[in-house]
Structure 1
Amino acid sequence: MSVKEVPIDNRQEHLDLLCFSTLFPTGQYEEHHPRQSYPSQTLSFSEYIKSRLLNKDFRFRRNHSYCLHYYGLKINKALKTGIYNLLKTTRGNIGQTVAKILEKINILDEEFEGNLSTMLAPIRGTNLYWFCVKGEVKALIAQYGSPTLFLTLSCAEYDSADIAQYLRKDFFNIVILQGGVLGLVEQYYVKKEYQMRGAPHYHILLWL
């Protein structure tokens, strides 16, 4: 006997509730659940993800499938935004029909293909994303010279959002930037990364 069901549409409003029922045993407080505020409103996509991953209830951030699910949704949103901006702002695409756009793809229009690659810039891990990051660092080096110091700030306890906030906001901003314990900071570049177990750490270039 085979059981056939209609595939779940990833555009459904309560998708996280359907896919991760063990994380929402009461059937409430998923992404689109109305919050107790006046006027009543829902959290934005990024606000909701942040509230779940930094929540005291560690079940969400330790559920790999849940994290990958929202990472996939984040990439889809970034791609949709990139495609929309590309078609609306790139020279020669404004006012064109879908048929014309598809024709450009089919005939391998080199200029159009080059423009298509720009929509990958916001997607972390893509070649274009790292190309943009490298370009930012190169621009700083061209203007300020080689960085004076390279710092790595890492917290020992990944369950504590307070420690991570202290490293980035309090320690870095107050002690290093405002306090000037290493000297007067002329410019800096910060890159936040996560270890395999989820602990955040920061790589920092300092120009003194």
Structure 2
Amino acid sequence: MKVKLKRKSCFKQHYLYQNVRPMLVVRALMDLRHQPLYKGVEIDEEWYSHVTNYIQAITEETELLVSEESDKSDNDEPVNPGTIDTMVENGDYVSFAPGEGMRPLSILIDDHAEEKAFPNLFGGHPRKLKDPLKNYSKVIRSELLNSDRRFAADTPNLFFKCKVFVHKQISSNVQIIMRKNKKENLRASDVANSENLTRMIDGDQGYRLLHNIQNSPSHLAAIRKNTFAMVRQLGHPTIFLTISPSESSWSDLLKILYKLRHKIEISDKDALNLPYAEKSNLIRDDPVCATYFDQRFRALFKLIKNKNGIFKEHPVYHYFYRVEYQHRGSPHVHMILWLVNAPQFDPTKPEKTFDACVTLINKYIQCMVSKDSPAYAYSKSKQTHRHTHTCYRSAKDKETNNCRFNIPYPPMKETFIAL
């Protein structure tokens, strides 16, 4: 049965459109009626009889078609040889607006909104916590890192949790900002007044309530101001780093993901020898990858900040980094570091600072790896440019192998600074 859900019956466009199996819906409703969150729910008898008649009609039509096909001679050639599936769909569908004329509760007021919205995960049972929204971040972490991966594998539920978490933060910020009013605490009637509302907008009170919501304008503005302040006070950063994950070559991560899905432990060799398609599915379908990258990055960052670590002679005394997500969904980090006693290049007097800067660059940055080094195989496979469709502007460039990045670059005998 084709079902179209609309926000209002008068609308031409639908909100959701999917094929459903009515008998499974009826069985699910019959089972949910006996669960705690659905007690007292009644099934519309008219709807139930309509669905029953519809199922019976489809069954009879299918049986008739099967009997007609069986009566045909085996020697009859089909009109369309090969597959008989087409992209042509029947125009019959059921269209209705289930929430029309109703006033929904806020997800922050309805204590069981998530359990009712996802009966496939909760089965009609509420959470055992008294007030799950009070420590909602801990609830999210517990469910996503649980050995039962149903919550982690359900993408709509992940976005629902994110929405509830952000709404909770905004609601808390609104209450704090209302209490921090310079003159007196505001009430609902004061906000309804247009003059008071204009004054709040002019004072950026509505803008400030998003200061701790990631990627909001207020949050990004605060980060930009802090970064510019660092540059003004500390000067230009010494090193810029980009740290990207290589999940398909992390045997520990692949072993964890494989065990979570198949309940089987495999060795490091077996994990690395998995087909690339299976590795991609394991990584894409589980959010534990982002947590694993975070833990791994924190361990690497401790090594970077350690005075006896990578930058032993020029310890890190200040830094800034930002985590971004690539198109494929994997996180990566952009970082700038300020090192102690690091030379600053002066373009007006390059002859005085050039040698010192080149010495620092050669100390921490290399473009050659010895074949005897354990990093040789990894660098050759992961850090070697391979021409793709983004390298070519036209078909002619592809034929002539003309890369728009001008790769490969000509080798240089020594390091130089391009002005």
- Decide: shared fold, TM above 0.5: yes
Q: Which residue of 2 aligns with 1:192?
A: 323
Give the CA deviation at 1:56: 4.7
For residue 176 of structure 2, the aligned residue among 81, 85, 103 is 85
Could you tell me how far apart the structure 2 residues matched to 1:141 and 1:180 are? 25
Could you tell me how far apart the structure 2 residues matched to 1:162 and 1:98 are? 41
Give the CA deviation at 1:196: 4.4
Q: Which residue of 2 aligns with 1:136?
A: 226
Percent identity over paired residues: 22
- Answering whether residue 268 of structure 2 is matched by residue 170 of structure 1, we say no
Q: Secondary structure at the match of 1:180?
A: coil
Q: Secondary structure at the match of 2:320?
A: strand
Q: Secondary structure at the match of 1:146?
A: coil
What value does the CA root-mean-square deviation take over the aligned residues?
A: 3.1
- Answering whether residue 116 of structure 2 is matched by residue 18 of structure 1, we say yes
Could you tell me how far apart the structure 2 residues matched to 1:136 and 1:58 are? 39
- Answering whether residue 280 of structure 2 is matched by residue 152 of structure 1, we say no
Q: Secondary structure at the match of 1:61?
A: helix
Q: Which residue of 2 aligns with 1:115?
A: 205
Could you tell me how far apart the structure 2 residues matched to 1:162 and 1:116 are? 32
Residue type at the aligned position of 2:170: L
Could you tell me how far apart the structure 2 residues matched to 1:199 and 1:121 are? 25
Q: Which residue of 2 aligns with 1:180?
A: 309
Give the CA deviation at 1:52: 3.1
Q: Secondary structure at the match of 1:120?
A: coil
Could you tell me how far apart the structure 1 residues matched to 2:113 and 2:233 are? 47
**Is the CA contact (8 Å cut-off) linking 2:325 and 2:331 kept in structure 1?**
yes
Whichever of the two has the greater Rg, that structure is 2
Distance of aligned partners of 1:56 and 1:124 in 2 relative to their CA distance in 1, 3 Å threshold: same
Distance of aligned partners of 1:26 and 1:201 in 2 relative to their CA distance in 1, 3 Å threshold: farther
Give the CA deviation at 1:25: 4.3
Please list every run of 5 or more consecutive structure 2 residues that lacks an aligned counterpart in the other structure: 1-46, 48-95, 248-282, 340-419
Distance of aligned partners of 1:124 and 1:107 in 2 relative to their CA distance in 1, 3 Å threshold: closer
**Larger CA deviation: 49-58 vs 120-129:** 49-58
Distance of aligned partners of 1:134 and 1:75 in 2 relative to their CA distance in 1, 3 Å threshold: same
Distance of aligned partners of 1:203 and 1:59 in 2 relative to their CA distance in 1, 3 Å threshold: farther
**Is the CA contact (8 Å cut-off) linking 1:105 and 1:112 kept in structure 2?**
no
**Larger CA deviation: 117-126 vs 194-203:** 194-203
Q: Which residue of 2 aligns with 1:37?
A: none
Please list every run of 5 or more consecutive structure 1 residues that lacks an aligned counterpart in the other structure: 35-39
Higher RCO, 1 vs 2 (CA within 8 Å, ≥6 residues apart)? 1
Q: Secondary structure at the match of 2:168?
A: helix
- Output the TM-score relative to the length of structure 1: 0.77
Q: Which residue of 1 aligns with 2:391?
A: none
Q: How does 1:20-35 map to 2 (within 5 A)?
A: 20-25=118-123, 27=125, 30=127, 33-34=128-129
**Is the CA contact (8 Å cut-off) linking 2:200 and 2:206 kept in structure 1?**
no
Could you tell me how far apart the structure 2 residues matched to 1:161 and 1:97 are? 42
Could you tell me how far apart the structure 1 residues matched to 2:156 and 2:245 are? 25
Q: Secondary structure at the match of 2:122?
A: coil
Q: Which residue of 1 aligns with 2:160?
A: 69
**Larger CA deviation: 44-53 vs 134-143:** 44-53
For residue 124 of structure 1, the aligned residue among 214, 226, 234 is 214
Give the CA deviation at 1:84: 0.9
- Answering whether residue 333 of structure 2 is matched by residue 202 of structure 1, we say yes
